[in-house]
Amino acid sequence: NAGVTQTPKFQVLKTGQSMTLQCAQDMNHEYMSWYRQDPGMGLRLIHYSVGAGITDQGEVPNGYNVSRSTTEDFPLRLLSAAPSQTSVYFCASMGVGARGGNTIYFGEGSWLTVV
Amino acid sequence: SQELEQSPQSLIVQEGKNLTINCTSSKTLYGLYWYKQKYGEGLIFLMMLQKGGEEKSHEKITAKLDEKKQQSSLHITASQPSHAGIYLCGADGGSNYKLTFGKGTLLTVNP
């Protein structure tokens, strides 16, 4: 997981609280994304970005906001946490170049529990 | 949107046995990634396949890409307990770098 740093690693939230999951990469990658992983569901794309100032929705965007003000950072915001957002969150980055020819780097994951 | 279907969903084998996990895409594959995940941990990159017919190996794990079938297979030879975990395939099959993943295959290797 070289180069992609996620914080915090563990977090417990109360329903209705807000928080931001941080993701930073130092590889100058254009592409960054957030996934959530739930039992039996695999990795589901929440939001992604192909460059600073550009973001788009993935498969499960509701309840989450993102912004990409710099190439390095891609924070994920939960505005009003709900128990359904209890999950493991992974940030990923990838260099954009030859199609399909770039390794995806993942952060180590953030375990979020909403009570 | 692209969908990746992995089979089987779970697999229990005896140590020393060979096994195969498949990943089938609903759309053209531009790149296929295999990752392994230990329960409660992050994702470990195994290998990436780009071209039809490409085959890569790492230790006792071999992956192949069949472009025509839009499918990749992951083969483990002489499985060991250290191979146990969740295997995930991921792909970039669209025009906007939306990377999608299969739901994973849970592998258990009994000593």
Interface of B with A in 57-86 (CB under 8 A): none
**Cβ atoms A46, A40 nearer than 8 A:** no
User: What value does the mean pLDDT take over residues B6-25?
Assistant: 96
Residues of B in contact with A100 (CB under 8 A): 29-32, 48, 50, 92
Residues of A in contact with B100 (CB under 8 A): 45, 59
Is pLDDT of A85 > 90? yes
Position B40 scores a pLDDT of 76
Residues of B in contact with A1 (CB under 8 A): 42-43
Return the closest-CA partner of residue A29 out of B56, B89, B99, B4.
Answer: B99
CB-neighbour burial class of residue A22 (10 A; exposed 0-12, middle 13-18, buried 19+): middle
> In chain A, which residue's Cα lies nearest the Cα of B46?
A103
Return the closest-CA partner of residue B75 out of B88, B57, B90.
Answer: B57
Contact status of B97 with chain A (Cβ, < 8 Å): yes
Contact (CB<8Å) B99/A90: no
How far apart (Å, rounded) are the C-alpha atoms in residues A32 and A104?
9
Contact status of A41 with chain B (Cβ, < 8 Å): yes
Is pLDDT of A11 > 80? yes
Is pLDDT of A18 > 90? yes
Please give the residue that has the higher pLDDT: either B59 or A11.
Answer: A11
Please give the residue that has the higher pLDDT: either B91 or B40.
Answer: B91
Please give the residue that has the higher pLDDT: either A65 or B39.
Answer: A65
Lowest mean pLDDT, pick from A41-45, A68-72, B98-102: B98-102
If you compute the radius of gyration of chain A from its CA atoms, what whole number of angstroms results?
13
Is pLDDT of B61 > 60? yes
Contact status of B95 with chain A (Cβ, < 8 Å): no
pLDDT band for B78, please (50, 70, 90 cuts): very high
DSSP character at residue A73: B
Residues of B in contact with A48 (CB under 8 A): 97-99
Q: Supply B58's token pair.
A: 């790492």
**Cβ atoms A25, A78 nearer than 8 A:** no
pLDDT band for A1, please (50, 70, 90 cuts): very low
Is pLDDT of A2 > 60? no
The amino acid sitting at B108 is: T
Position A96 scores a pLDDT of 63
pLDDT > 90 fraction of chain B, expressed in percent and rounded = 59
Contact (CB<8Å) A101/B102: no
| β pairing state of B19-25 and A64-66 | unpaired
How far apart (Å, rounded) are the C-alpha atoms in residues B39 and A77?
26
If you compute the radius of gyration of chain B from its CA atoms, what whole number of angstroms results?
13
CB-neighbour burial class of residue A12 (10 A; exposed 0-12, middle 13-18, buried 19+): exposed
Is pLDDT of B35 > 80? yes
Nearest CA to CA, how far is A79 from chain B (Å)? Answer: 24
